[in-house]
Each structure stands twice: as C-alpha cells, then as structure tokens.
Copies of this chain bind each other. A is one copy, B any other.
Amino acid sequence: MNSFGCLFRITTWGESHGGAVGVVVDGCPPRIPITPEEIQQELDRRRPAQSKLVSQRRERDRVYILSGVFEGQTLGTPILMLVWNEDARPEAYEPFKHLYRPSHADYTYQVKYGIRDWRGGGRSSARETVGRVAAGALAKKVLRSLWQVEILGWVEQIHTLRADIAPDTVTQEQVESNPVRCPDPSVAAQMMERIEQVRKQGDSVGGVVRCIARNVPPGWGSPVFDKLEADLAKAMLSIPATKGFEIGSGFRGVAMLGSEHNDSFYTDEQGRIRTRTNFSGGVQGGITNGELIDIRVAFKPTATIFQDQHTVDEWGEPAVLKARGRHDPCVVPRAVPIVEAMMALVLVDHALRHRGQCGG
C-alpha cells in the first residue's frame, strides 16, 4: 500500500506527469505550530534544478496545505499537502512509450497491473518523494517541538570517493555548504568533479547517505518485528534506487570479534547510562538506548543514462533505447532530505507508539 506508519501515518499519491503529487498525514499530534514555509524549505532541498549536478526539470514545487492546519497549528485531523505538476512534458517520454527502460520499473509495473502511466515513470518516479519530504518536514517539527530530537543526513560516499565524517560534531551548515551535501569540503570538491565527469560521459553514479538522530530518548522502539532498526530499514529501502542499509557497525561489524564490538556501559556525569562505543547504532533489541541513531543507505547509480542501451519492447522484441529527457547523473545529494524525512517519520511514529503503550 501507499501508506507508512502506525500512529503517525502518511499516504502519498501522484504520478510524475499527472495533475499533482502529495501526501495525507494522519495522526499528527494537535497544536504543533507549522507554516507552509517550513515545509517549503525542505521541499526546496529535494527540488530538481538546484544545481547542474541534478535534474534540470523546472518545478517550483510550491506546497499547498489544504486541510488539518488552522490558524498556524495542527488540528490533529488529516493534513493534505499538495504540489502541482507544472513542468510536465510527457511528450519527451513518447519515444519510450512501448519500451522497457533497463533497471527502471516499466516492465514490472506493466506485468503487475497490465497498464502503466509511461510518462516519466508515472508512480515509480522519484517525484513521489515530494510527499515524503513534505510529511517529513512536519515530522521533524513534531520531534523538535516535543522531544528536541534533531535529524541530520549527509553524503558519505559518491562512487569510489568516501568521506570520513565525525557524526558527533557534524552540523547542518557544513552539510549545506556545498551542492553535493558532503561536509568534508575537499572530498566534496572531488565528488563534484567525479559527477561532472560522469555526466559528460552520459553515465551515472550512486553513493551512500549517512543519517543520524540526536537526543533520541531511550525506550523508543519495539522488541520484535517493529524493531526501530527494522522500521528504519524498511523506510530506507522504500526510497527509489536504494540497495542497502546499515545501522551502527553494519557489514563492517561482521569482521569484528564480540569483545571488540560490544558497547560497554558507563554512567556519565549527569547520571545518565551511556555506552562508550556505539557499534549498536543507538538501538539494542529494537529499542533506543539514548545514543546517536546512526545509519547508512546505499544508492545505486541512476538508471537513466545517456548511452544507447539494449532492451525489449512490450511485445518482447529486441530494441535499442536512445536516452533522452531530463535526468540526474547522481541522485544522492537530493536524496539526503528524503533519507532525513523517512528517519523522522519512523521516529515520530515510534515516539507516539511508545507514549501510547507506556505513557512515556
């Protein structure tokens, strides 16, 4: 289904070149102050045509809030947020109408539904994430207002270039200081160069987004299937073009011994129980322990490239796809606000669920 969350539940809707895209947010706590500008700010971080690194589709992506907010505050009722599709140019996709683009979802949608909106990928377009980012902006506001939780993502890797960032001290200003959203300026410069080089070849690259949450109280999450890390994994793998997820030590933890990997407990000066290391990534047994939530998400190289590709058409006949239209040689910088949004949605939902069951 197109919904996410149990108590703070969002439902996104919209095709890339249909009338509009948007989201309904249900279950939001009442009396949270929110303005369209706060939503817009996050959408602007996701928007295409921010820089030449990304797709040149020209969308203002202006958000309209049609319900659920009254005199600047949430009502507790569903919040509908909508963005019109202004720069839809379906004719650009006309030549691919009957072709299956490799590593896109044309074939799988067609085989599942027996019909698809072929204009720009329809529902499978990353344009769907407009609704997630809008909802995520609200989720962030709730988390900040009620629990002082802050979420921060950045680009850790592009292709083979990797930045080593200290999660405890990195700031949003550092992240936003360059278009590639990598807080290490020298690696950022190399990354931009790499993307530009790949763009010229008509090719594409992927990368890794790392995302943390600060000030998360201990006790959020759930023991078994809805472990916080399980819901984060689902949230992240639901983002288009993702292929992997790690929390804490991730795949690197495999090569460690238990005696190295275990996070020892101690009591800090404020009397709070803490761990000396954070290989756990802020969760133990599915429940937060008060340390940084720390995850990584792998994005594959964008499927749209500007090189001829072999494929088949709807009737199974061999065909050659000549790439056209607008695209991102690298989606990863624009994915940062999406990853943050999904983390915010998971956390706010678990915050409300914890309060419901345990009164916290």
Contacts and interface: CB of A to CB of B under 8 A. Distances in A.
A78 B2 contact: yes
Given A225-B1, A265-B102, A267-B316, A246 B244 contact: yes
Contacts of A236: 230, 233
Contact of A102 (B67, B218, B264): B264
Number of this chain's copies in the assembly equals: 4
A70 B263 contact: no
Interface string A233-251: 1111110101111111111
Main secondary structure of the interface of A (DSSP, over half): mixed
A235 to B, nearest CB: 8
Interface residues of A, number: 151
Contacts of A271: 316
A75 B122 contact: yes
A285 B67 CA distance: 18
Contact of A9 (B3, B159, B243): B3
A222 interface: yes
Interface stretch (A170-178, A333-341, A347-355): A347-355
Interface string A124-139: 1000100000000000
Q: List 5 tightest A-B contacts by C-beta distance, closest first.
A: A105-B285, A356-B356, A204-B258, A234-B234, A108-B287
8 contacts: A7-B353, A11-B11, A19-B80, A20-B66, A77-B123, A107-B265, A159-B254, A267-B312
Given A14-B67, A19-B66, A256-B300, 5 more contacts: A19-B65, A124-B285, A198-B257, A254-B298, A259-B305
